[in-house]
Structure 1
Amino acid sequence: MDEVQIAKQGCMRCGNNDNALDDHSVLNASCNLESREEKLNLKVIGVGLCRTGTYSLRGVLNMLGFPCYHYSEMRKNNQINLWLDILSGKSEDWKSAFSGYMATVDFPSITVYRKLMELCPEAKIILTVRDTQTWYESVKDTVYRAYNTPGDQSPSQLVLSRLKMWEGLFGGRFEDREYAMSVYEAHVESVKNYVPAHKLLVFNLKEGWLPLCNFLGVPLPPADTPFPHLNKTAQFIGCRFKEA
């Protein structure tokens, strides 16, 4: 099956097929999930850095019945200023940020994953990983390129990504390849050391459904369901830099 067919299968917990891969709407009346409650109720916290398969994991979690927050959701929900306030310490309005979601992956939530673990102590933690060198090339050719492309992001987005990603996490040295790769590897080790082993899944997308479904305690999808690999480098470049 292709990705369109996968999407048509819908959410494996509620059966709703409204944009199952790309946008599991939390307003669907037929989806009887705890995530619709107005409280912070994260069941899954993704802590892998961007370009480790976080967008694919988002799609998979949506399919498995865990409506998932991601950088793209922040943009869609017009929450950039909310996150600027949260990350600067001006606000702790976590409920507004994650209202209706049962999972979160990618930036900006990865920068506060320890706080989210405190707020949601029963949440399971997924650390997506990939080869360090291919990770660096992917980031350089996609999100870092977007950051440096005039007009690609709003002023607020630029401030947020600069403060917490490029100057924060990478100390303004992302273009130093060896340093950036060392930051990536240090992040992986930091997560492994911080998160209790029984709550952590270190996950490479190449491993597919079995370890992920076992970890989450959900049934495997039908045998002919391919594991989605979304937002690959070529796709990102084709969508964001069509005139480049």
Structure 2
Amino acid sequence: MAEKKTSNGPKIIVAGLPRTSTTSLKKGLEVLGIAPCFHLGDPPAPIRRVKESAHVLAIKDTGLRRRKLKELYDEFEAVFEPPASTLVDDMLAIYPDAKVILSVRKDPQVWLASYKGLGMDLRSRAYRWSGYWVPGVIHSSNLISAWATFYEKKFSMAAKHVPSVELYLRHNAWVKEIVPRGQLLEFQPSMGWGPLCDFLGREPPEEGTPFPWVNEAAFLRNVIRTAMAVGTVIWVVIFGIMWALFVQVQQRWVHV
């Protein structure tokens, strides 16, 4: 769906962690006429947005961070994923009237399995170096690194506990604590249209319209693998060219 400009800022902040059916929820909001939506995973976001999101999440100065969040999100009706879902308190300070949807899975273990099902940890050196020359790889890695570092500090967690069941529980408890009563809906797609439409004051779609279900895990795994494969080929080409140049220079010296 084409993005349309708006100057009012987000009306909806989706505060659930990544891999809590946020893509399905985005599709559901679009069916209800809520657009444009800011989501870094569906469809693949412009590299510029990934870069800006990583930058915002790493800013320590509260005032500067909020100004950058406003620049990032002002044209969108609904926002998903980090940094919005991570900086919920900042988001509510900027957009105090926004409604907050805490997207959840049926239990923390299901969420953790879903997150780890993506395979390669984007923070890893293997991912960063193999895909170094591929557009977006370093920015996506920086985003996940900043996301993890934020929670490590916020909840005094060890790096190995991001992600973890503990993170899921503590993040959700924090969101429920800071969002004013009546402004928060805890939601998963299996609940259907009713709770979501009641919360947003929207008419439900035609009877019989199923709530969208999108599982982008396979797509994301393929994106990661493709980036690493392409990056590896580029490295091979670079080293091949360097070796050819080295041999050429060496031969010239031999014939001098």
Indicate whether the TM-score tops 0.5: yes
TM-score (normalised: structure 1): 0.74
| Residue 47 (structure 1) shift | 0.4
Counterpart of 1:168 in structure 2 is 150
In 1, Cα distance between the equivalents of 2:44 and 2:217?
21
In 2, Cα distance between the equivalents of 1:106 and 1:181?
18
| Residues 1:59 and 1:146: Cα distance change in structure 2 (over 3 Å) | farther
Look up the equivalent residue of 2:171 and give its one-letter code.
H
| Residue 232 (structure 1) shift | 4.5
Percent of pairs identical after alignment? 28
In 2, Cα distance between the equivalents of 1:185 and 1:101?
28
In 2, Cα distance between the equivalents of 1:81 and 1:237?
20
Counterpart of 1:83 in structure 2 is 53
Q: Is the 8 A contact 2:24 2:214 kept in 1?
A: yes
Look up the equivalent residue of 1:65 and give its one-letter code.
G
CA RMSD of aligned residues (A): 2.7
Residues 25-59 of structure 1 show CA distances to partners (whole Å, capped at 9, x for unaligned) of 224xxxxxxxx23x352110010001111111111
Q: Is the 8 A contact 2:17 2:85 kept in 1?
A: yes
| Residue 95 (structure 1) shift | 4.0
SS at match of 2:101: strand
Residues 44-101 of structure 1 show CA distances to partners (whole Å, capped at 9, x for unaligned) of 0010001111111111112212221112378326123323443314552334312431
**Which shifted more, 45-54 or 92-101?**
92-101
Counterpart of 2:236 in structure 1 is none
Which structure has the larger Rg?
2
Structure 1 unaligned residues grouped into runs of 5+? 1-23, 28-35
Counterpart of 2:242 in structure 1 is none
In 1, Cα distance between the equivalents of 2:147 and 2:100?
21
| Residue 236 (structure 1) shift | 3.9
In 2, Cα distance between the equivalents of 1:49 and 1:97?
19
| Residue 197 (structure 1) shift | 2.1
- Is 2:81 aligned against 1:106? yes
| Residues 1:51 and 1:144: Cα distance change in structure 2 (over 3 Å) | farther
| Residues 1:40 and 1:83: Cα distance change in structure 2 (over 3 Å) | farther
- Is 2:112 aligned against 1:136? yes
In 1, Cα distance between the equivalents of 2:23 and 2:120?
16
Counterpart of 2:2 in structure 1 is 25
| Residues 1:154 and 1:240: Cα distance change in structure 2 (over 3 Å) | closer
Q: Is the 8 A contact 1:40 1:98 kept in 2?
A: no
| Residue 147 (structure 1) shift | 4.8
Structure 2 unaligned residues grouped into runs of 5+? 153-157, 230-256
Q: Tell me the number of residue pairs that the alignment of Structure 1 and Structure 2 aligns.
A: 208
Higher relative contact order (CA 8 A, sep 6+): 2
